[in-house]
Amino acid sequence: MAGRGVPTRWVKREHDLEDLTALVLPGGESSVMLKLAAINELEAPLCALIASGLPVLATCAGLILLARSVRTPEQQSLGMIDCVVERNGYGRQVHSAVHRVTGHNGLPDFDAVFIRAPRIVEVAPTVEVLAEWNGDPVLVRQDNVLAACFHPELVDPSPTLDLFLSAGTH
């Protein structure tokens, strides 16, 4: 976001959540992110902030953090978006690739970078599918949460980042 002129800051402790206008939960290692959130007692404040309506963009591991359920292997999640994901659902690191995804609801088709990407295998009716690849949802929205299987920060133009920055999640 900083490359788009948006001020950013790291969130490591509860006080870092104060006065946020939006939140990005990035890619990375989701199990480590969950452990750090637990160690730093961020789980409950983070969930409360998301439930309050703060615009959130969750990418790759961020999607795993917020999913209702995680498979392959099973792991804990925060359950803030009503979907089920499989970790590394599109393969291991060597299977990482750029794919052309099909946009829905006014979003154009666009390139997306999948890096050991989670696969969304189930979405509730309350979850809007905004883009698909190979018949799978890869960009979804539920209320104030926009969640992607891919890394939207690695392509330009990025309709996903544009959507998040221009309209929050709606």
Could you tell me the pTM of the whole model? Answer: 0.94
Residues with active-site annotation? 60, 151, 153
pLDDT less than 70: residues of the chain: 1-3, 167-170
Report pLDDT for 92: 85
Report pLDDT for 169: 43
Report pLDDT for 10: 93
Closest CA to 23 of 51, 31, 36: 51
Element (H, E) at 84: strand 81-86
The distance from CA 38 to its chain's CA centroid, rounded to whole angstroms, is: 19
**Which domains are assigned to the chain?**
2-167 (3.40.50.880)
